[in-house]
Structure formats: C-alpha cells, structure tokens
C-alpha cells in the first residue's frame, strides 16, 4: 500500500489555511499555492537517487554526491495542477513537464480525458503528478492510469487538500503510489467538493468565478 504523508510543518499549515479563506485574492492564492508546492516538493524529493560525482574545488579534487541526471517529470492535471508546477520547478529546474487534461462530467462526476502529452522517456523518470485537490480521487486515478499506460513506473501524487474518500480510493486503485498532502479534510459534500476545502481550486487560481 502506498504511504500517505500529511505535512505538519507550520509554514505549510499556515499557508494552506490562508488559501482557504474566501477573501484571499487571486494573486495571493496563486502565490501561496506556488509556495506550498515548493515547500512540499522539498520533502517529496527527499528520496531522489544521488550518485557519486568527481568535482574539483579550488583546493583539490574530490568526490561528492549529486542528483542523478535529469530524471524527474512533473505532470499537472489540467487545469488546477498548473498552479503547482512553478513551485516544483523552482526546486528541480531541469525537470520535464507533461500535461494530462481531464474534466469531471458535471452530472456523473466521472473524469473524461481530453489531453495527454508526456515526455517520451517517462518510463525512466520519477514522476510527480500534481493537482491541488484530491476529492473523489476519480481524476487522480484516471490521470495515473493514463500515465502508467505510457510507461511510467515510479509515480508520486502531490496535492494540497485531500478528502478521506479520495485518499482511500487512490490508495486502492494505485497501491504503488505514495501520496503527499498538505491537509486532510473532513469529507466530501453532495457535489463532490471537499469540506471545509477551499472551493474550486481552478477558479480561485485563475479568477474565473
């Protein structure tokens, strides 16, 4: 079963509380989503593989540990996942970025794929699938299905707020995927929105409400 990591760092908790507030502006929301993603990314990249590399300091030659090559892919689930990409890229600027486009059918809540473009060498990469909200888990499960179909093997899922229902569904569908979340909320409402949540993450990122 994949592990679930809920971050208890005070900065992450504070910023996650701030983005929930109804009167947080689009600008502040976007900036804080970026900051939280970077803080979470710092922890989520903890197990990236290192290799011994020979370097020369002004004093002598030596061997040090450095990250192995350019072996990371970040895959936002469109469109809200885009808000988490810059924070991750600030940490791993050489990462490749794929995109998966899904929308939830407003009546059935079932995810429908409309776009999927991934790095061709996705199979070799540590893939970070990012989406701010893990609600029913339907979009995350479907996105990871598509990404695995294209060959990805090592996948981590990162979101800001998750429902217990979403975590359970994702763990059941993809037991090999570790889940990193900033906050675990109470439940879903009848429209599959997270409570207390923050509303629609895409609308709040892009000011479309």
Which residues lie near ligand URA (CB under 6 A)? 80, 133, 135, 193-194, 197, 200-202
**Is 37 among the annotated ligand-binding positions?**
no
Phi-psi map region of 88: left, alpha, beta (phi>0 left; psi -120 to 50 alpha): alpha
Q: Respond yes or no: is residue 203 known to be catalytic.
A: yes
- Judged by beta carbon, residue 61 or residue 209, the one nearer ligand URA is 209
Q: Would you mind telling me the total number of residues written for the chain in this entry?
A: 209
Alpha helices in 52-109 (DSSP H): 85-91
- Judged by beta carbon, residue 77 or residue 152, the one nearer ligand URA is 77
State the catalytic residue, choosing from 71, 86, 145, 200.
200
State the catalytic residue, choosing from 20, 104, 121, 145.
104
**Is 84 among the annotated ligand-binding positions?**
no
CA distance 129 to 67: 20
State the catalytic residue, choosing from 63, 203, 204, 208.
203
Q: Respond yes or no: is residue 200 known to be catalytic.
A: yes
- Tokens describing residue 32: 């804080």
Q: Respond yes or no: is residue 104 known to be catalytic.
A: yes
**Is 163 among the annotated ligand-binding positions?**
no
- How many angstroms separate the Cα of 22 from the Cα of each of 33, 39, 131, 184? 15, 23, 20, 19
Phi, psi of 5 (to 5 degrees): -110, 115
- Judged by beta carbon, residue 87 or residue 138, the one nearer ligand URA is 138
- Judged by beta carbon, residue 97 or residue 205, the one nearer ligand URA is 205
What is the residue whose two structure tokens read 């029913």? 136
**Is 133 among the annotated ligand-binding positions?**
yes
The distance of closest approach from Cβ of residue 197 to ligand URA in the complex, given in angstroms and rounded to an integer, is: 4
- How many angstroms separate the Cα of 174 from the Cα of each of 26, 30, 79, 142? 33, 29, 22, 10
**Is 135 among the annotated ligand-binding positions?**
yes
Task: Name the residue among 49, 74, 50, 70 with its Cα closest to residue 127.
Answer: 74
The distance of closest approach from Cβ of residue 22 to ligand URA in the complex, given in angstroms and rounded to an integer, is: 13
The distance of closest approach from Cβ of residue 118 to ligand URA in the complex, given in angstroms and rounded to an integer, is: 23
> How far is Cα of residue 96 from the mean position of the Cα atoms in its chain?
14
Catalytic positions are 104, 108, 200, 203
Q: Would you list which residues are annotated within the binding site for uracil?
A: 194, 199-201
Q: Would you list which residues are annotated within the binding site?
A: 79, 104, 131-139, 194, 199-201
């Amino acid at each position: 079963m994949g592990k679930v990591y809920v971050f208890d760092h005070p900065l992450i908790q504070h910023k996650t509380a701030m983005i929930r507030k109804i009167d947080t502006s689009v600008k502040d929301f976007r900036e804080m989503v970026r900051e939280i993603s970077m803080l979470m990314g710092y922890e989520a990249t903890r197990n990236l593989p290192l290799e011994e590399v020979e370097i020369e300091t002004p004093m002598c030659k030596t061997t040090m540990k450095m990250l192995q090559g350019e072996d990371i892919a970040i895959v936002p689930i469109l469109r809200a996942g885009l808000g988490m990409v810059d924070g991750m890229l600030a940490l791993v600027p050489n990462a490749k970025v794929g995109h998966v486009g899904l929308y939830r059918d407003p009546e059935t809540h079932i995810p429908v794929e409309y776009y999927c473009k991934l790095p061709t060498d996705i199979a070799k990469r540590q893939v970070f699938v990012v989406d701010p909200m893990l609600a029913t888990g339907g979009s995350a499960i479907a996105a990871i299905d598509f990404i695995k179909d294209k060959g990805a093997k090592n996948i981590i899922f990162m979101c800001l707020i998750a429902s217990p229902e979403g975590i359970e569904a994702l763990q059941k569908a993809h037991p090999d995927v570790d889940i990193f979340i900033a906050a675990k909320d109470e439940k879903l409402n009848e429209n599959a929105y997270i409570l207390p949540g923050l509303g629609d993450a895409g609308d709040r990122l892009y000011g479309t409400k």
